[in-house]
Amino acid sequence: MTNERDVLITEVALRDGSHAIRHQFTVKQVTDVAKALDEANVPFIEVSHGDGLGGSSLQYGFSLTNELELIEAAASVVKQAKIAVLLLPGIGTMPDLKQAAKLGAKMARIATHVTEADVSPQHIALAKDLGLETVGFLMMSHMAPTEKLVEQAKLMESYGADTVYVVDSAGALLPYQVKERIRALKDSLKINVGFHAHNNLSLAMANTLVAIEEGATRIDGSIRCLGAGAGNTQTEVLVAVLDKLGIKTGIDIYKMMDIAEELVAPILEKPQEITKDSLVLGYAGVYSSFLLHAQKAAQRFGIDSRDILLELGNRKVVGGQEDMIMDVAAEISNRGLVHEH
């Protein structure tokens, strides 16, 4: 399969898109979309709570449907695609990963903050032991200089990862920064290099193309931009652009267009576009999945959600610190720390 493809795409809408719809996926939605993506020849389809295995909780948001049920349902309808799961050590556990593998997951993406790869060795080792294709996922990659990113990627490689990703969780990286990071990883690692974009500054496609130019062969996309914040690189558009560039993905463009229109558009609560809040996520360098949490906090305290997001950016708050959002909102409200418009 790999021989006919220059770039391998992982479709993340059934995981990253969970943030955009408050983790309310139904079994039917997941099976319909997974089956159709499989028929369109998408090689990897990620399915889990937006915050990965074990993410369904008060802090991150409860899932409508147990994600293990969703993973099993997706795995039962695919013929060639591999089902991928995300795991953040400290949220997801080793038993969660074992269970996911038992239910049909074939790829594990082990995600840590960009400077905390050292929390992932056991999870990467377990994924390898379970026979899963194993990916190291360095989130919030804009928050570390390139040398630090290389050091952390090398750790993940040493633990046994098959691929390491530069993950632009905030959609804050600019094209020259992506270029520098991907080139440095390509020069320093013997394994595959991947890239995961968010579209908060309208740069997901540009950043993805730069990453591919520099040698990234594993790329994430979300169909119809169904992902956190303003979504990810739009998969059906990416497939068309890569086709025009003569880069093979092996994915059927017409089928992807149809899935986007007929199956995914109806799932979206509103169209994925760059709103003032998602723009601030990219501008301030804030985790894309904080969007709905910040809007909820703003409503509760009667303040501007942008003030919350900018303050979270100033404090360099990262994924896993969702409980800070309400605290920051309360402080802004109490101190009258409101932005002068």
Pairing of strands 218-221, 133-139: unpaired
Residue 222 sits in a domain whose CATH number is 3.20.20.70
Residue 166 falls inside a structural domain: yes
Region 112-119: mean pLDDT is: 97
The pLDDT value recorded for residue 337 is 54
Residue 238 falls inside a structural domain: yes
Residue 131 falls inside a structural domain: yes
CB 184 within 8 A of CB 158: no
Q: Are residues 106 and 215 in the same domain?
A: yes
Consult the annotation and say whether 23 binds a ligand: no
Consult the annotation and say whether 176 binds a ligand: no
Lookup result for tokens 């900018």: 310
Region 285-308: mean pLDDT is: 91
Residue 289 sits in a domain whose CATH number is 1.10.8.60
Region 129-138: mean pLDDT is: 98
Domain boundary among 211, 232, 267: 267
Residue 184 falls inside a structural domain: yes
The pLDDT value recorded for residue 2 is 39
Residue 136 falls inside a structural domain: yes
Q: Which domain holds residue 295?
A: 276-335
Mean pLDDT is lowest, of 89-93, 138-142, 236-240, 290-294, for 290-294
The pLDDT value recorded for residue 306 is 94
Question: How does residue 147 score in pLDDT terms, banded at 50, 70 and 90?
Answer: very high
Q: Are residues 239 and 306 in the same domain?
A: no
CA 237/CA 42 separation, integer angstroms: 14
H helices present in 66-203, as ranges: 67-77, 94-102, 121-129, 146-159, 175-188
CA 266/CA 118 separation, integer angstroms: 41
pLDDT digits (tens, 9 = 90+) for 150-187: 999 999 999 999 999 999 999 999 999 999 999 999 99
Consult the annotation and say whether 159 binds a ligand: no
Q: Are residues 281 and 263 in the same domain?
A: no
pLDDT digits (tens, 9 = 90+) for 43-58: 999 999 888 898 766 5
Residue 340 falls inside a structural domain: no
Residue 341 falls inside a structural domain: no
In the chain, the number of structural domains is: 2
Residue 26 falls inside a structural domain: yes
Q: Are residues 125 and 91 in the same domain?
A: yes
Question: How does residue 339 score in pLDDT terms, banded at 50, 70 and 90?
Answer: low
Catalytic-residue membership of 142: no
Consult the annotation and say whether 305 binds a ligand: no
Question: How does residue 317 score in pLDDT terms, banded at 50, 70 and 90?
Answer: confident
Q: Are residues 252 and 287 in the same domain?
A: no
Q: Are residues 304 and 206 in the same domain?
A: no
Region 201-225: mean pLDDT is: 98
Q: Are residues 187 and 330 in the same domain?
A: no
pLDDT digits (tens, 9 = 90+) for 14-46: 999 999 998 999 999 999 999 999 999 999 999
Q: Are residues 242 and 204 in the same domain?
A: yes
Q: Which residue in the list 19, 23, 49, 293 is annotated as catalytic? A: 19
